Amino acid sequence: MKFRDGMWLPAEGKRLEYAEEVYSITEREDGKGISLLCPTRKVLQRSDSLNLSTLTIDIAAPFDGAISVEATHWLGALNPGPHFDLYPAGKPDKSDVNIKTSEKYTTLSSGSLSATVKTADHDFDIRFHATDGSKELTSLLNRSIGLAYSPATSNPMQTADMRNLDHYIFTQTTLSVGETVHGLGERFGAFNKVGQAITLWNADGGTSSDQAYKNVPLWISSRGYGIFIDTPDKVELEIGSERCCRVQTSVLGQRLKWYIIHGPTPKEVLQKYSILTGKPGKVPSWSFGLWLSTSFTTNYDESTVNSFLEGMKGRDIPVEVFHFDCFWMKAFHWCDFVFDSKMFPDPKAQITRLKKSGLVKKVCVWVNPYLGQASPVFKMAASKGYLLKRKNGDIFQWDLWQTGMGIIDFTNPEATEWYVGCLQDLFDKGVDSIKTDFAERIPTEDVKWYDSTLDPKKMHNYYAFLYNKIVYEALQDRFGENEAVLFARAATAGTQRFPVQWGGDCESTAEAMAESIRGGLSLGLCGYSFWSVDIGGFEGYPPPWIYKRWVAFGLLCSHSRLHGSNSFRVPWTVDNDDTSDQGCSRTLSKWTALKARLMPYIFSQAQESVRLGIPLSLRAMCLEFPDDPTSWYLDRQFMFGDSLLVAPVFEESGNVEFYLPKGKWTNFFTNQTKQGPGWFKETHNFDTLPLYVRENTVLVLGKWHETRTVYNYNEGVEVCLYYTTAGAKTTVVDSEGEASGVLEVGEDGQLLDQGFLQGAWHLTKNGRSASRPSK
């Protein structure tokens, strides 16, 4: 929201008051914070302290490298929940906090990060900087913290009745010359957010607008810090779009709290952010295989499902997970958890037969948190208070998406228990994973939650966290802590704990593929390790070339799923079963096999990504190369783990332009090398793309003929050394994610420890084997 009309005037209908000076500072009793009393005019004489607003600014050191800032107007205002679930693994016990006061300044230090408050000359000036003095990160200067009334008041007496007044709190942190801003959830627009106005409000808006399914109040700066805004409420940001040199954050209410987190690298920012909101959950090795969906509105039954899977097997395309989308239930009955008996008379037996056939190992089904009134279950749920109500006691209903649908009220423990019971019944039938769709359009007006202490506006975004947490923990309870897998669409801060997230409804175009990549990169910069996309695009009928280019991109995401809207995504339906080497079927087969071979690398990198709270894929280039200014603008390529660079192709011709940072890079397919930094152009068929290996990499690959996702990652592997020096190493894990051993290059260029490797493994240097070894 813009509060000003240019630099000089308030916006029409807005009254603004700013913290003009720091009048006094009080130190907290625990020695970990300070409280600033900030009048909204300079107090030059005693009478200036009357008839004016003040802002209280609390600055604290929660843990090393992080400082919280909370601005409050009226301290007596309630602060209802829900609140983000912070410190899920516990708050750090020790912190290095120091407060120093001089004649003109007070400095609060929290490990590597400090905040210095100017106390002289009636100025308002707060600087955030590295404790060692090496760098200033950002600041709060004149007219940078304030409150606003809308409509504008002309007399303080008007604030006696706030029912028709909106009250905002805002802050404006400075943007330095050349500084870029990234993150804020899965955003599909420009990767660098400077110049954009962004509203953090979950919406079902597809992938081609400024709306987002996953709004996360965290942004990362190219100057080595991040800011996490600690509220699930609607947050509005003007990122260099009201004042070009500032990021404005505003909320409707009496208080605004955020944390500034010092890296100095973006990886370190995310690692410290994970202390606040939690690390991503681990996912099992089988989940990295290919997922095949029925698609959304298509007709299917058991014979259709079997024909898909038999067709995939006949074309050498292993499928790890088969997904039943919405119409496993009757139309108008979503989501009552009852299989359509006409199409699926015995679902448990069908799933048993499906797995026994060997065509697929796992089964996933679609659910949402809504309930259509046509289902007999609706009356039961309504009578027991399981559904969200209006203020007058009616069930909240509308005809958007599902006729007369209600919304499960997860603040009611009994409703949650019932919902989990429905999930457990699915698990009894053989279901292994859940696609948790929707949860964005949660109403905020004329609603009353079972827990009436909660603020409906805050529940809008937070509902996605509750919904996914409940389903994820139900899966953990049944299958084990590290065996739970979702395919989730809506998210907010903390939802990275419940993987996997996917990118939502994209069109079947090259432009939509680029949008999806930008979305995945932005979400990854909010601490999400695992992300997927509808391969081929969701909406429409992808032409063969789009499908094949998307296959190459999709199989190099952490998770890979074929899914569409009103058309199937099995390859032979896309190109009339072109059996040539460059047809859809052969292309999909090759990329699926490549991902299987990469599993020793992928699954090892997955464990490290979870440990650090960083993305596996898509990993923004700036995470690996933060000192390269170009890396902060690259939104058409990404890293898969720390060693593989991927540049998807967006042209039917195969022409592609990409950037290699400093160093020697080896083409995975040809072993040819290029020296960065620089831009390069290549042309690719459908079975390759720019896939480059970083120098000093020890890359472990599965056997040439390996097409499975789950196997012994220590046996018969190829260990590839890419221009390594002494000390280069990699951790090899088993299919459960446990470390088997470390391969490290010694001074003589040989591997120091090989004892844990099994079978006929072999070593290659400066690339991989160019041809399949004889059996």
- Which amino acid type is present at position 556? L
C-alpha to C-alpha distances, 604 to 601, 735, 740, nearest whole angstrom:
5, 9, 10
Gap between the Cα atoms of 112 and 135, Å rounded: 11
Q: Set out the domains of the chain in order of their start, with CATH numbers.
A: 19-80+93-159+227-234 (2.60.40.1760), 292-367+414-442+464-612 (3.20.20.80), 657-765 (2.60.40.1180)
Gap between the Cα atoms of 234 and 566, Å rounded: 34
Which residue in this structure is represented by tokens 């400095």? 107
Question: What is the H or E stretch that residue 60 is in?
Answer: strand 54-63
pLDDT at 772: 67
Q: CA 48: distance to chain centroid?
A: 48
Q: Which residues of the chain have pLDDT under 70?
A: 771-775
pLDDT at 775: 45
- Of 603, 552, 562, 588, nearest to 711 by C-alpha is 603
Length of the chain: 775
Q: CA 46: distance to chain centroid?
A: 51
Q: β-strand 97-101 against 501-502: which pairing, if any?
A: unpaired
Residues 6+ apart with CB under 8 A from 615: 523, 524, 525, 527, 528, 529, 530, 531, 558, 609, 623
C-alpha to C-alpha distances, 20 to 57, 142, 143, nearest whole angstrom:
12, 7, 7
**At 468, phi and psi to the nearest 5?**
-70, -35
Is 591 strand, coil or helix?
A: helix
C-alpha to C-alpha distances, 90 to 141, 276, 585, nearest whole angstrom:
34, 9, 49
Catalytic residues: 437, 440, 505
Q: Are 433 and 362 in contact (CB under 8 A)?
A: yes
Region for residue 117 given its phi and psi (left: phi exceeds 0; alpha: psi -120 to 50; beta: otherwise): beta
pLDDT at 354: 97
Q: CA 660: distance to chain centroid?
A: 25
In what order do the strands lie in the sheet containing 762-765? 697-701, 718-722, 762-765
DSSP class of 320: S
pLDDT at 95: 83
Q: For residue 54, list its beta bridge partners.
A: 39
pLDDT at 773: 57
User: Across 253-361, where does the E strand assignment appear?
Assistant: 255-262, 290-293, 321-324
Q: What predicted TM-score, i.e. pTM, was given to this entire model?
A: 0.97
C-alpha to C-alpha distances, 253 to 19, 145, 150, 267, 284, nearest whole angstrom:
17, 14, 12, 33, 42
